[in-house]
Homo-oligomer: A and B are copies of this chain.
Amino acid sequence: MSHIAVFPGSFDPVTKGHESVVRRVLPLFDKIIVALGSNSAKGNMFPLEKRKQWLEQTFAGISQVQVEAYSGLTVDFCRQKGAKYIVRGIRTPGDYEYESNVALMNRAMGPEIETIFMLTLPEHTAISSSIVRDIVQHGGDASPFIPKGIHVSSGK
């Protein structure tokens, strides 16, 4: 049986923190699907196509990582892909609070799917997509916080 994990998020935009979590947990899985939530409701800053392209660029060299957009419930997407694990990174206790709620609810809806967590590295603690958006909106330089080779700007 092959081990498949889903790493879900809105990646608005992808950060060095996301990249690092995927790389660190990779040895445990045969495939990690970076699952880009495409629900229109949430009001993302960057369009789906852009976010997807940045993810593909980030994980271009890693054949076990696959980027896919999805809509609907995460547990339904996992079932459809044969994934038994959801992977999430945690930066802060506030993250933990939120993530543990989502994990409990996912468990209630899909008890056969387990969520596993990794801490982001200390140097990535301050890096969230929302703070990156903040920097971009204020005209700051976000490049130290996003994967190498990716250019994010508010004009995009």
| Chain A residues close to B by CB (< 8 Å) | 3, 24-25, 27-29, 39, 41, 71-73, 76, 84-85, 90, 92-94, 96-98, 100-105, 107-109, 114-119, 121-123, 125-128, 131, 135, 137-141, 144-145
| Complex CA distance for A91 and B123, rounded to whole angstroms | 14
| Complex CA distance for A131 and B97, rounded to whole angstroms | 14
Chain B residues with CB under 8 A of A29? 28
| Complex CA distance for A131 and B100, rounded to whole angstroms | 12
| Complex CA distance for A29 and B85, rounded to whole angstroms | 13
Stoichiometry, as copies per complex, reads 6
User: 16 interchain pairs (CB within 8 A)?
Assistant: A25-B116, A28-B29, A39-B137, A39-B138, A72-B138, A73-B140, A94-B98, A104-B119, A104-B125, A105-B126, A107-B122, A107-B126, A108-B127, A115-B118, A116-B116, A116-B117
| Complex CA distance for A102 and B137, rounded to whole angstroms | 15
